[in-house]
């Protein structure tokens, strides 16, 4: 059991991961210089979805999404949905891992083999995972505290910005802006971890507040990064920058450190670590409802499978394809499905109480 205030760190650190390296370009392609509106919109959307998620979970009191599925849809279809959710978490895990490896290979060590970074990271994740749930939450906390100093580094590129690039506001079609918001999915998902973590919270009446704080912090960070990016890069330049955030950092220069982005890339391991641990943990919570497996067995099997997969996806195009596919599925699973589930849960509850009253 953990305190509700730790949810702030859990939600926030699962949301921020590898997506922030290069989300600017993806939105910019749709919404042009109004991209920041897209970010704002998707930020608001996360708050709305979180309200639905919490309401659904409150109906059941102390059950996670997997249990809710089994209750609403029955054993077979419920388990089928659980399976989809486990696959989703695993894909998220894989995607974070593979994207990070790619960044390390392009920016710092072009000749470093994939298996080496993959194995190193997986061992670290296994180590954290076997420590148990509280250790994972602890990692989220430290990831936040140790990495938050990266945000003020945006001041350096700020001196090369022209605020004029943001004008005229709302020039683009509202549909394009919404499309931009949708393409932000890959970057902003992560708060669905709430579905699984909810039963482990001690003081449940504080959950709402801390979840929304976490989401707000994420939105503010994404918003500031996109605003600086639009003002710092010119249109085509942003379109061509695959990792715009790292390019932003490449202008940072200290007397004792010449190439700051190298530090940033290496430091990012701390930022993705809670991502990996929490997605792995979420997949584990689902799996124990489907098959009989203990945590050590699970984590080793899972890691070996992911390790194999990480070797098979090699090129930029393939990684991009995985990201896009994940983003598309993720949008419906995270931004549409929770509302549906809430309605079903309410109906189910009404149905059962009526039945009980009759009986």
Partner 1 sequence: MKFIKVMFIFIFLLITIAGCAEQKLLEQVGLTTLLGYDLGENEKLSTTAVIRQVNPEFQSNVEIVSAENETARGSRAEINRKTSKKIMSGQMRVVLFGEELAEDGIAHHIDTLSKNSDTSGSIIVAVVEGETKSLLEYQFQEIDDIGTHIYKLLEQNIKNEQMISSSLHEVAHDYYSLGRDIAIPIIKRDKEHVEISGVALFDKGKMVGKLSTEESFYVKLSRDLYDSAMFEITIPKEALPESQTKNSPEKIPVVIDTINTKKQVKLINPQTPEFDMHITVNGRMLEIGANMDLDNPKNVKKLEEEIGKSIAKNLERVLVYCQDVNSDAFGLGEYYRSSVRHSNLTHEKWHELYSTAKVNIKVDFTILRSGIFE
Show the binding pattern over residues 290-329: x = contacts partner 1 (CB under 8 A), - = does not: ----------------------------------------
> Do 122 and 306 touch, CB atoms closer than 8 A?
yes
Helix axes 260-290, 133-147, angle to 10 degrees: 160
Q: Distance between CA atoms of 218 and 188, rounded to whole angstroms?
A: 8
Binds partner 1 by CB under 8 A, chosen from 93, 198, 233, 335 = 233
For the chain, the distance separating the N- and C-terminal CA atoms, rounded to the nearest angstrom, is 37
Report phi then psi at 312, rounded to 5: -80, -25
The single residue among 149, 236, 255, 294 that binds partner 1, judged by CB under 8 A, is 236
Contact 263, 108 (CB under 8 A): no
Angle subtended by helix axes 295-312 and 65-103, to nearest 10: 40
Q: Which of helix, strand or coil describes residue 2? A: strand
| Contact with partner 1 (CB under 8 A) among 1, 111, 358, 359 | 111
How far CA 123 is from CA of 130, 276, 295, in Å, comes to 11, 12, 15
Q: How far is the CB of 300 from partner 1 (least distance, A)?
A: 10
Rule CB under 8 A: say whether 131 interacts with partner 1.
Answer: no
Which of residues 112 and 321 has its CB atom nearest to partner 1 in the complex?
112
Q: Does 351 bind partner 1 (CB under 8 A)?
A: no
Euclidean distance between CA atoms 4 and 117, whole angstroms: 34
Supply the minimum distance, in Å, between the C-beta of residue 171 and partner 1: 5
118 near partner 1 (CB under 8 A):
no
Compare residues 231 and 283 and give the one whose CB is closer to partner 1. 231
- Taking phi over 0 as left and psi of -120 to 50 as alpha, with beta for the rest, 253 belongs to beta
For residue 36, with 0-12 CB atoms within 10 Å meaning exposed, 13-18 middle and 19 or more buried, which class applies?
A: buried
Q: Which residues within the stretch 237-266 sit at the binding site for partner 1 (CB under 8 A)?
A: 237, 239-240, 247, 250-251, 253, 258-259, 261
| CB-count burial class (<10 Å; 0-12, 13-18, 19+) for 164 | exposed
Taking the complex as a whole, how short is the minimal distance between the CB of residue 257 and partner 1, in angstroms?
11
Q: Which is nearer to partner 1, 134 or 240 (CB)?
A: 240
Residue 352 within binding range of partner 1, rule CB under 8 A? no
- CA distance linking residue 89 with residue 198, whole number of Å: 16
Least distance from partner 1 to the Cβ atom of residue 296, Å: 8
Provide the minimum distance between the beta carbon of 11 and partner 1 in the complex, in angstroms, as a whole number: 30
Residue 114 within binding range of partner 1, rule CB under 8 A = no
Q: Which of 29, 63, 79, 106 binds partner 1 (CB under 8 A)?
A: 106
Residue span 152-181 as binding mask against partner 1, x where in contact by CB under 8 A, dash where not? --------x-x-xx-xx--x----------
Q: Which residues bind partner 1 (CB under 8 A)?
A: 106-109, 111-112, 116, 120, 123, 127, 160, 162, 164-165, 167-168, 171, 232-237, 239-240, 247, 250-251, 253, 258-259, 261
């Amino acid at each position: 059991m953990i305190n509700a205030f730790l949810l702030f760190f859990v939600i926030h650190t699962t949301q921020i991961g590898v997506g922030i390296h290069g989300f600017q370009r993806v939105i910019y392609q749709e919404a042009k210089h109004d991209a920041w509106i897209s970010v704002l919109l998707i930020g608001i959307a996360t708050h709305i979805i979180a309200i639905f998620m919490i309401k659904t979970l409150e109906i059941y009191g102390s059950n996670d999404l997997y249990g809710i599925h089994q209750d609403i849809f029955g054993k077979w279809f419920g388990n089928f949905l659980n399976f989809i959710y486990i696959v989703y978490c695993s894909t998220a895990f894989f995607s974070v891992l593979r994207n990070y490896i790619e960044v390390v290979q392009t920016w710092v060590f072009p000749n470093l083999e994939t298996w080496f970074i993959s194995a190193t990271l997986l061992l670290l994740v296994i180590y954290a995972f076997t420590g148990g749930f509280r250790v994972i939450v602890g990692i989220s906390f430290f990831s936040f505290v140790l990495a938050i100093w990266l945000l003020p580094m945006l001041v350096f590129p700020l001196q090369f910005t022209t605020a004029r690039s943001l004008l005229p506001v709302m020039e683009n079609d509202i549909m394009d802006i919404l499309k931009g918001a949708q393409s932000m999915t890959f970057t902003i998902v992560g708060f669905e971890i709430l579905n699984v973590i909810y039963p482990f919270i001690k003081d449940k009446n504080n959950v709402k507040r801390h979840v929304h704080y976490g989401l707000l912090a994420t939105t503010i960070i994404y918003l500031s990064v996109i605003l600086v990016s639009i003002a710092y890069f010119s249109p085509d330049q942003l379109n061509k920058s695959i990792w715009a955030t790292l390019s932003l950092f490449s202008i940072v220069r200290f007397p004792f450190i010449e190439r700051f982005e190298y530090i940033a890339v290496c430091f990012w391991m701390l930022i993705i670590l809670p991502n990996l641990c929490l997605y792995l943990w979420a997949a584990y919570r689902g799996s124990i409802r489907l098959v009989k497996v203990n945590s050590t067995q699970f984590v080793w099997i899972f890691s070996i499978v992911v390790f194999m997969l990480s070797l098979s996806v090699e090129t930029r195009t393939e990684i991009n394809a995985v990201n896009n596919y994940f983003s598309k599925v993720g949008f419906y699973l995270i931004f549409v499905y929770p509302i549906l589930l809430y309605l079903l849960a309410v109906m189910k509850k009404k149905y059962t109480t009526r039945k009980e009253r009759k009986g």
